[in-house]
Structure 1
């Protein structure tokens, strides 16, 4: 058996797979996020460790872990965990959805435009490197004490196995990485007040990072000495979980955020399109990704605001009349294609007769139109494979999947049981790391339980609505987020 641990934003998930790499079971433990100022997003790295202990022990109570052979890791990308010379955490981790470095990114875009093609994407506030430049300007005393920088999963890995390492995908998401050469870039470090000596050694996700230390083993209730694989940033580990491990394989993900992901066999920079052109966590592979900060989350947000369930609102949206308002889903800004951390969500066209069903229908359509923007950007460099596997919690909604298919013109297949995601991919990489499986064994896609094909009769309506959606963004962009 092989254990995968994924450090998410809202929870830590532990998943167990058998010798056939099929899922046996999972457990999770919740996490909370702190926002000490508007636009800031932080977590205490100690909470990741405590949640990992809870999730692994809960999993072990249902599925005994006596036959465990190796552990793999995954985690939320871009987070800045800062350590001193004794590996002590200096401050709460600054997360992927933190916007404080917006001015830094604007300056990097202006002063170092040539760096985007090397890093695979334009600088964005959520990335790790701009956060270091922000810290140098706003917390200089703390910045002067930095000796090491970790990504979230790699900080947990440091506790588990004691090595300062990372994988290509997590390294790619920092904005310090030379994607084509798969090594740290001195130019990017110099531009963001970063000493390259602070950075972990980049390895492949299927490499062995080390072995489980006695202290961590005791806390987890596991035997010391278990092999621990490097693992991958959650985007790439999720790709491993659904078999997107060879060129031309892809998927869309509908979680808190949304992605269209296609694996490639070479580096294809397209920063002007708002794409993420990153190294994969597997050797010799890269990927192109349209990254939308607001995937299915606007649906749960609207449910929370109205005090109704997502299921009830979707049922009302199914029967909503044609007088549907427009909605911008940018609750936390947007990456692809806009690279705009200041834009926020809004409804437009509300009338006296507008009800919750019509508003939920507008939310669903807006999510689909965000995927239209992502697909258009991706097609500038990469063919999108079809049918395209759809994974994530948002795939529970037939209405959402059919609307995305109608609006984008893509045929989608809902992956059966594909919500486990990165933790499953991490466990499978652990099997490869110890030689119990090969890279070819990772080439396995989940079965689909339903297909969604574009309906020609909807095309004209969605094309007109998409034009209005894009015009609304252009009109509201100068306003940004409220002061």
Structure 2
């Protein structure tokens, strides 16, 4: 048996997987999020431990024999969080989360230093870890002076499980301190935030051993002491391991609250200027790129509230197959945008409405706007040298066949729908635990799921949507001055 533990923003999920990679069961427990001030987002690391304890206790209660047979554990978690520890590994303050933007000024200052983009391959976003430490130094100097270790959230769980300070490449690539091409900490960038490699955990690959389970934790949850804990992965890389998106050119498009176009690469291909994330993957000598949009299904949910309806009703009214573009342009920048604009002040808009623009036309324009935002991500990946031939759809929006048919036509590539199953970050973490414990070949472990349906681009509609995309792409630069 193999155990995957995924620390999400709102919950911890623990998943048991057998040697045939069949899921035995999973359990989860909620984690609270605190927003003490505007733009702040924090969690108490003690709550991560409590939620993990609850999920593991449930698995022990329902599957004692399976827990006793666990041979490897993998970890996944939300990225970029700053968990600050003192000399005795005590937590010095609540963890500053990935969606906390208080350090926007510090991020801009670090990003203005050309070394950061050159070494990390990424823009320094306010959500990344390094600017958070700069903010702590500027605003909580008494805390900063006590910092002995900076851990990412899932690696604080590892410390509890193993007693060791260890991280891995995929998560560490989101700190703005990693030399992403060399897969090592940059002493130069750490020094720029008055830190050193002594403040960082040691690094392993995600599929390699990254500690061993402490005896007291093992006995509490019916496992054997000393079993392998894998390096693990940041949440998107772990989801990619679960989806089998590990070979060059493989990709998935995640239609969740936010949206991600994720592509696996066998080479390091940064493109910071287009706000593409270029991170290490969870496997050796493998990297990945991500285009990120901040409001995917969130855009449809927002519009549904305005329309006094629900997303399923709105999309059902459009029929089974997309027709010509709506003629209305929707910019889905409800809370800023990452790829390609890197503009936290960006805001959405409907443009081109007329008397004929009823509810269905606006629904269609929202779906189109999100697809065009993904097209922006695709174009940014192409600029970085990545060509995608197809993508697998995941997330809540992937249940809409209409939306996926539209996505295929706008992107100009087939969009696949996987067969029913759980291929998320917890499953990917369990796969990493399997590989670390058994030395298993990633090529045989990280297989993609079966495909239930494939939506091909509509060649008759592609020219019209190419024209509509060009109008969409030109709109935000034209109106930015009056929007911000």
Q: TM-score, normalised by structure 2?
A: 0.91
- Residue 400 of structure 1 deviates from its aligned partner by 1.9
Contact (CA 8 Å) 1:101, 1:131: kept in 2 or not? yes
Of 79, 87, 91, the residue aligned with 2:93 is: 91
The residue number in structure 1 matching 2:438 is 435
- Residue 176 of structure 1 deviates from its aligned partner by 0.2
The residue number in structure 2 matching 1:411 is 414
Contact (CA 8 Å) 1:97, 1:332: kept in 2 or not? no
The residue number in structure 2 matching 1:457 is 460
Q: Which moved more, 1:315-324 or 1:328-337?
A: 315-324
Q: Which moved more, 1:294-303 or 1:336-345?
A: 294-303
Structure 2 distance, partners of 1:147, 1:445, is: 41
Structure 2 distance, partners of 1:14, 1:302, is: 34
Structure 2 distance, partners of 1:30, 1:462, is: 42
CA pair 281-456 structure 1, distance change in 2 beyond 3 A:
same
Q: Deviations over 1:119-176 (max 9, x none)?
A: 0111111111111112211222221221111111111111111111111001111110
Structure 2: runs of 5+ lacking an equivalent: none
The residue number in structure 2 matching 1:41 is 41
The residue number in structure 2 matching 1:313 is 314
Structure 1: runs of 5+ lacking an equivalent: none
Structure 2 distance, partners of 1:409, 1:242, is: 22
Q: Which moved more, 1:201-210 or 1:164-173?
A: 201-210
Please tell me whether residue 300 in structure 1 is matched to residue 333 in structure 2. no
Of 60, 73, 76, the residue aligned with 1:74 is: 76
Q: Deviations over 1:422-479 (max 9, x none)?
A: 1111101111111163222224111111111111232243233323333332245345
The residue number in structure 2 matching 1:16 is 16
Contact (CA 8 Å) 2:68, 2:222: kept in 1 or not? no
Contact (CA 8 Å) 2:73, 2:433: kept in 1 or not? yes
Q: Which moved more, 1:264-273 or 1:124-133?
A: 264-273
Q: Deviations over 1:43-97 (max 9, x none)?
A: 2222222222223333445544332222110011111111111212122211222
Secondary structure, aligned partner of 1:197: helix
Secondary structure, aligned partner of 1:248: coil
The residue number in structure 1 matching 2:365 is 362
The residue number in structure 2 matching 1:101 is 103
Q: Which moved more, 1:63-72 or 1:5-14?
A: 63-72
Contact (CA 8 Å) 1:82, 1:146: kept in 2 or not? yes
Taking the TM superposition and a 5 Å limit, the aligned residue runs for 1:51-450 are 51-64=51-64, 65-110=67-112, 112-217=113-218, 220=221, 222-303=223-304, 308-318=309-319, 325-349=328-352, 356-417=359-420, 419-435=422-438, 437-450=440-453
The residue number in structure 2 matching 1:32 is 32
- Residue 419 of structure 1 deviates from its aligned partner by 4.7
The residue number in structure 1 matching 2:6 is 6
- Residue 240 of structure 1 deviates from its aligned partner by 1.0
Contact (CA 8 Å) 2:251, 2:390: kept in 1 or not? no
CA pair 31-348 structure 1, distance change in 2 beyond 3 A:
farther
Structure 1 distance, partners of 2:302, 2:421, is: 23
CA pair 12-393 structure 1, distance change in 2 beyond 3 A:
farther
Secondary structure, aligned partner of 1:457: coil
Q: Deviations over 1:182-229 (max 9, x none)?
A: 111122112233333211111111221222224433554544433211
Equivalent residue pairs, number: 480
Q: Which moved more, 1:62-71 or 1:365-374?
A: 62-71
Structure 2 distance, partners of 1:166, 1:387, is: 32
Secondary structure, aligned partner of 2:24: strand
C-alpha root-mean-square deviation of aligned residues, in Å? 2.5
Secondary structure, aligned partner of 1:379: helix
CA pair 203-324 structure 1, distance change in 2 beyond 3 A:
same
- Residue 25 of structure 1 deviates from its aligned partner by 2.9
